[in-house]
């Protein structure tokens, strides 16, 4: 099935949800969302492929939504679309109305990035930045972060959860001493425990904790210990295939009113790590051969 943006591919009479999604997609440019322009474009705005990448959805599903052949997206899908399309609060409400879904209540984790936080992220493009929700799902990143840790666009579901990746043993570029690993595990489990108290109705969070308990004794033991606390800032050593191991300051900031975690990686001006970050900016996410 073609996924081009030519008007002839769109089904006449598609539902209001499909028309709204297409309109919101048309008003964005690749540069606005941190994607390369990709040569000559036949239509304004983002391609379906680009929206699918940003929202971690399949191109086929985006196509079916816009053509009115998929009419009941889940709250999780709506949250991903609202974030990828950079919808305002009013537009996000309208999206849920069109989809026949209530907006998430206070007992559910939100991934909505406010306009103020969005401006902050757009302006702080010199350092690797990522944004995670209260369950440590990766919801946003900038090009510098993708260059440092690898492009996460193809990751789906639990593959985008920081805690799951660690306890399930999925590959990553952060290198830890035994002491750093123990501290990281304790603080992340404590942070998740605090999240379950703030979001008791969030089914995704409950499912994550259940599945984490089944990954082995490390998580289950920490969880059963009743440990409390929150993730702290510190230094991170990252091994990059091109520039080698680089040690950076890692600061975790909680966005007021949203409970999103903004993770920033920085280096002291003039340091070797700072020079390596500048080199990384040149290398980008190009494939390593």
Domains annotated for the chain, with CATH where assigned, are 7-99 (1.10.260.40), 115-283 (3.30.450.180)
Please state, rounded to an integer, the average pLDDT across all residues of the chain: 85
pLDDT in tens, 222-240: 999 988 766 667 889 999 9
pLDDT in tens, 229-279: 666 678 899 999 989 999 999 999 888 777 899 999 999 999 999 999 988
d(CA 181, CA 91): 42
Q: Are 233 and 250 in contact (CB under 8 A)?
A: yes
pLDDT in tens, 87-99: 888 898 899 889 9
> Which of the listed ranges 76-85, 159-168, 232-241 does the model predict with the highest average pLDDT?
159-168
Kindly state the greatest CA–CA separation across the chain. 60
SS (H, E, C) the chain: CCCCCCHHHCCCCCCHHHHHHHHHHHCCCCHHHCCCCCCCCCCCCCCHHHHHHHHCCCHHHHHHHHCCCCCCCCHHHHHHHHHHCCCCHHHHHHHHHHHCCCCCCCCCCCCCCCHHHHHHHHHCCCCCEEEECCCCEEEEECHHHHHHHCCCCCCCHHHHEHHHHHHCCCCCCEECCHHHHHHHHHHHHHHHHHHHHHCCCCHHHHHHHHHHHCCCHHHHHHHHCCCCCCCCCEEEEEEECCCEEEEEEEEEEECCCCCCEEEEEECCCCCHHHHHHHHHHHHCCCCCC
pLDDT at 158: 92
Res. 3: pLDDT tops 90:
no
pLDDT in tens, 179-224: 999 999 999 999 999 999 989 988 899 999 999 999 988 999 999 9
Structure tokens at 232: 């702290």
d(CA 110, CA 235): 28
pLDDT at 14: 44
How many Å separate Cα 158 from the centre of its chain? 11
Structure tokens at 141: 């990143």
Lowest model confidence (mean pLDDT) among 5-19, 112-126, 131-145, 224-238: 5-19
Residue that wins the pLDDT comparison between 117 and 266: 266
Res. 119: pLDDT tops 90:
no
d(CA 285, CA 249): 21
Q: What percent of the chain is modeled with pLDDT above 70?
A: 91
pLDDT in tens, 4-23: 333 333 344 448 999 999 99
Question: Average pLDDT in the 132-145 region?
Answer: 92
Write the CA distances from 56 to 50, 126, 172, 193, 240, integer angstroms.
10, 25, 19, 26, 24
d(CA 145, CA 151): 8
Only one residue has tokens 């079916």, namely 64
Question: Average pLDDT in the 142-171 region?
Answer: 91
Only one residue has tokens 């992340």, namely 188
pLDDT at 285: 61
Q: Are 124 and 264 in contact (CB under 8 A)?
A: yes
């Amino acid at each position: 099935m073609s996924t081009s943006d030519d008007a002839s591919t769109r089904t006449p009479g598609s539902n209001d949800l499909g028309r709204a999604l297409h309109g919101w997609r048309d008003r964005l440019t690749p540069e606005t969302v941190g994607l390369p322009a990709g040569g000559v474009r036949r239509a304004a705005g983002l391609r379906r492929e680009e929206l699918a990448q940003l929202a971690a959805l399949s191109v086929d599903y985006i196509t079916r939504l816009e053509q009115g052949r998929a009419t009941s997206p889940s709250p999780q899908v709506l949250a991903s679309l609202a974030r990828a399309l950079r919808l305002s609060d009013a537009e996000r409400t309208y999206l849920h109305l069109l989809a026949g879904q209530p907006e998430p209540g206070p007992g559910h984790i939100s991934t909505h990035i406010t306009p103020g936080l969005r401006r902050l992220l757009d302006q702080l493009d010199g350092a690797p930045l990522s944004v995670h929700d209260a369950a440590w799902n990766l919801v946003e990143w900038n090009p510098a972060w993708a260059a440092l840790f690898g492009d996460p666009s193809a990751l789906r579901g639990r593959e985008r959860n920081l805690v799951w990746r660690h306890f399930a043993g999925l590959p990553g570029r952060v290198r830890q001493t035994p002491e750093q690993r123990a501290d990281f595990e304790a603080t992340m489990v404590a942070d998740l425990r605090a999240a379950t108290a703030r979001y008791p109705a969030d089914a995704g969070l409950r499912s994550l904790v259940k599945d984490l308990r089944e990954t082995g004794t490390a998580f289950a033991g920490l969880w059963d210990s009743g440990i409390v606390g929150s993730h702290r800032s510190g230094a991170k050593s990252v091994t990059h295939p091109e520039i080698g191991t680089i040690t950076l300051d890692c600061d975790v900031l909680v966005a007021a009113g949203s409970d999103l975690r903004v993770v920033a990686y920085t280096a002291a001006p003039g340091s070797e790590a700072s020079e390596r970050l500048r080199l990384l900016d040149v290398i980008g996410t190009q494939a390593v051969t």
